Amino acid sequence: MFNFFLIWLFRNYPMKSFLFKFLPVLAVASLSSCSSLYIPNVPNTPMLSTQGEFSGGAHASIGGNLSLNGAYAASDHFGIIGSASYLNSDGSSKDFKQKLGEIGGGYFNTFGPDDNRIIEVYAGYGGGKTDRTYLHYNNDVLTSKEHQETTYSKTFFQVNYSSRKSNDLRLFGKVFPINYGTAIRISHVNMKTFMINGIGQPREGNLFVEPIFFTRMRFSDRFQLQYTSSGNFGLNSRKFISAGNSLFTIGAVVNIGGKIK
């Protein structure tokens, strides 16, 4: 898994070396492949364990994709989740803006010898809006532009597996507990409206399979730093709602409550 590689990377390379050698590679990867009008948000992986627990997180990518996640355990095995994301990327030849919101609910449970493994199954509904403008120049003079605007609905189903069994990571002379998780999300995105330069266009939809891997570095019982990587694979060939948009984000997660410390 990618997260085990990340743990090995931090153990074998100083932080300064990592930033200068590997961060540019991640930046290129996160900025590449933006041909779709749908860019995935950071999936909600709250790691709920008992009634009354709250989880909140904020995640950001180098490409400007900001995601906010929240979850609440309404009972010992039922959780409510919600997410919102915003992307604003202005370039010399293309401007891209997206807003996306989701809400859902589902089942969670702990298991294992020490009850430190968590399984979560969620389903939900959401919607979003994307504005994309292509700018065409001739000798630095703007000659034309194409404005694409779409609204879409989204339904999703996901299964999360995570562990609070920690591995120790020594960094800057201190030891930080590391835990990890993975998830698989299936998302159906369907255009509700689609306009190019104010003229209605045929609408598209696609079914996406999105594998997710995340690693958390614990600073305290409540506060953790999270790195998330995910893929995006479309089951249909589409021109505007297409696949290939991977996510690489860094974020902070807060869990309040929970029976596992």
Residue pLDDT, tens place only, 63-108 = 889 999 999 999 999 999 999 999 998 877 889 999 999 999 999 9
Which of 74, 85, 239, 209 is CA-nearest to residue 148?
239
Residue pLDDT, tens place only, 100-157 = 999 999 999 999 888 889 999 999 999 999 999 998 888 877 788 899 999 999 999 9
Q: Choose between 213 and 176: higher pLDDT.
A: 213
CA distance 47 to 255: 9
- Residue with token string 């299964």: 159
Q: What's the rounded mean pLDDT across residues 19-31? A: 38
Greatest pairwise CA separation for the chain in angstroms: 68
- Residue with token string 């931090």: 10
Which of 113, 123, 111 is CA-nearest to residue 162?
111
Q: In this structure, are strands 233-234 and 223-230 parallel, antiparallel, or unpaired?
A: unpaired
Answer yes or no: is pLDDT of 34 > 80.
no
- What 8-state DSSP symbol labels residue 43? -
Bridge partner list, 158 = 122, 185
What is the reported pLDDT for 166?
Answer: 74
Answer yes or no: is pLDDT of 211 > 50.
yes
pTM of the model: 0.81
When pLDDT is cut at 50, 70 and 90, the band that residue 234 belongs to is: very high
Mean pLDDT for all residues in the chain:
84
In CATH terms, the fold of domain 2-256 is Lipocalin (2.40.128)
Q: What's the rounded mean pLDDT across residues 42-70? A: 93
When pLDDT is cut at 50, 70 and 90, the band that residue 260 belongs to is: low
Answer yes or no: is pLDDT of 259 > 90.
no
Q: What's the rounded mean pLDDT across residues 203-210? A: 96
Q: Domain map of the chain by residue range? A: 2-256
